[in-house]
Amino acid sequence: MPQRPPLDSATLFERAQAVTPGGVNSPVRAFNAVGGTPRFIRSASGAWLTDVDGNDYVDLICSWGPMLLGHAHPEVIAAVQEAVARGTSYGTPTVPEVELAEEIVRRTPVERVRFVSSGTEATMSAIRLARGFTGRDVIVKFAGCYHGHVDSLLASAGSGLATFAVPGTPGVPASSTDLTLVLPYNDRAAVTAAFAEHGPRIAALITEATPGNMGVVPPEPGFNAFLAQTCRDAGALFISDEVMTGFRASAQGGWGLDGAVEGWAPDLMTFGKVMGGGFPAAAFGGRADIMRHLAPEGAVYQAGTLSGNPVATTAGLATLRLATDDVYAHLTATADALKAGVTDAFTAAGVAHRIQSAGTMFSVFFRDAEVRNFADASEQDEKAYAAFFHAMLEAGVYLPPSAYESWFVSAAHDDRAVQTVLDALPSAARAAASAGGNA
């Protein structure tokens, strides 16, 4: 047998860059915001990642949210192994997709749900449905909210508040974003002005249930209810994007933090990440009278070869069934312990910081004032974050390689994992202090 060449992250990254743009299949993985070489992960178990170089890390990314129960949960793996042995895709209706849909309908306000394979597909389809249902074209979104790489949602604010957007990336034609309005988050006056000017043309407003893609920026009290009411008054639909927050921020997602308490429901919701149990599965759903407009019941076309895939929906179902109140209590306690550790270490080292939370989700901003929107989030000390990130990585903690992300924990983050993070924090905080603008 020929000797296999040694696998190390640096060599693999070179090989990857020769065959894949930037060496990665999703940009943030490339470490561009923090510098250095991404670690190639060989395996994961519970709260831990193991890279090809043989290093172990406490995982604070959790696949960007999905791994609510931790990696390779024995019951999820067993369910998936049984499902795989029965064949991996039939292109017909199956049992697990019905059961997963029932579970989602039970836990959220949606009455009907349609499965797709990614969060991007979910938001894209929800928007098409909203336009088909209302017969209108304009979409409202907020700066800093990420809804996947849908053309019309990769939009930057135009020159004035209630003016239409410009493409946020090359490759998106202006004709894809000139029906999109981009507003500052948590800004009721901007929403009121946009609806006053364009209300009769607005098909839907889409927002993250509680934003987590600019770091965690919770809605101010009553903001989501205000959005829902503004949409209702204008005959537009309120789309709550729960791809990140669904079954993660709380047992009932972001909606569980305010809508369930205040007594309103979105017209449409999108899900992904946790509900796929680590597989490519996502969904959109909502009011039955709206969802009825989807093919084959209605005229709005939408389809997918692997939609409702039996292996992916089995993994999602196993995950949601194991996501009990105890799991959410554990996530909260774990997040609290980490937040306290960050506060102590950063205060001792004199690092400007602000921790914001939404249910079990939290993030650490490298600035000392409240972050209400994307403009606030952009005023972080990114150099300090990069130094902090690398010091943590050296100490065995895998944080998101960007200052604009939530930190994710799982049911498998036990005392040993938490202690590893707490032990790493003081010297990483000092590294941040000497690299940052506030040293």
Ligand X SMILES: *Cc1c(COP(=O)(O)O)cnc(C)c1O
Q: Which is nearer to ligand X, 243 or 345 (CB)?
A: 243
Report the 3 state secondary structure along 86-99.
CCCCCCCCCHHHHH
Q: Which is nearer to ligand X, 205 or 417 (CB)?
A: 205
Q: Of 6-14, 143-151, 414-422, 428-436, which segment contacts ligand X by CB under 6 A?
A: 143-151
DSSP letters, 223-283, are: HHHHHHHHHHHHT-EEEEEETTTTTTTSTTTGGGGTHHHHT---SEEEE-GGGGTTSS-EE
How many Å apart are CA 141 and CA 283, to the nearest integer? 19
Active site residue 404: no
Closest CA to 72 of 47, 42, 52, 53: 47
Interface with ligand X (CB under 6 A), residue from 213, 302, 309, 406: 213
Residue 147 touches ligand X, criterion: CB under 6 A: yes
- Determine what percent of the chain falls in helix, strand and coil, rounding each to the nearest 5: 45, 15, 40
Interface with ligand X (CB under 6 A), residue total 14
Report how far apart, in Å, the C-alpha atoms of 117 and of each of 67, 110, 284, 301 are: 17, 19, 11, 16
Interface with ligand X (CB under 6 A), residue from 23, 272, 308, 401: 272
Q: Which is nearer to ligand X, 65 or 436 (CB)?
A: 65
Residue 244 touches ligand X, criterion: CB under 6 A: yes
Q: Which of 51, 57, 59, 146 is catalytic?
A: 146
Closest CA to 145 of 208, 94, 96: 208
Tell me the closest approach of the beta carbon of residue 358 to ligand X, in angstroms: 12
Active site residue 146: yes
Peptide bond before 296: cis, by omega within 30 degrees of 0?
Answer: yes
- Token pair recorded at residue 75: 């019951």
Interface with ligand X (CB under 6 A), residue from 217, 243, 290, 331: 243
Q: Of 67-75, 100-108, 116-124, 214-222, which segment contacts ligand X by CB under 6 A?
A: 116-124
Q: Hey, which residues between 331 and 350 contact ligand X (CB under 6 A)?
A: none
Q: Of 118-126, 184-192, 294-302, 369-377, which segment contacts ligand X by CB under 6 A?
A: 118-126
Report the 3 state secondary structure along 356-387.
EEECCEEEEECCCCCCCCHHHHCCCCHHHHHH
- Strand 48-51, strand 56-59: pairing: antiparallel
Residue 258 touches ligand X, criterion: CB under 6 A: no
202 phi and psi, to 5 degrees?
-85, 120
Active site residue 241: yes
Residue 240 touches ligand X, criterion: CB under 6 A: no
Interface with ligand X (CB under 6 A), residue from 119, 218, 254, 285: 119
What mask of x and - would describe binding to ligand X in positions 280 to 299, judged by CB under 6 A? --x-----------------
> Which residues carry out catalysis?
146, 241, 273
Q: What does the binding site for ligand X look like in residue numbers (CB under 6 A)?
A: 118-120, 123, 146-148, 208, 213, 241, 243-244, 272, 282
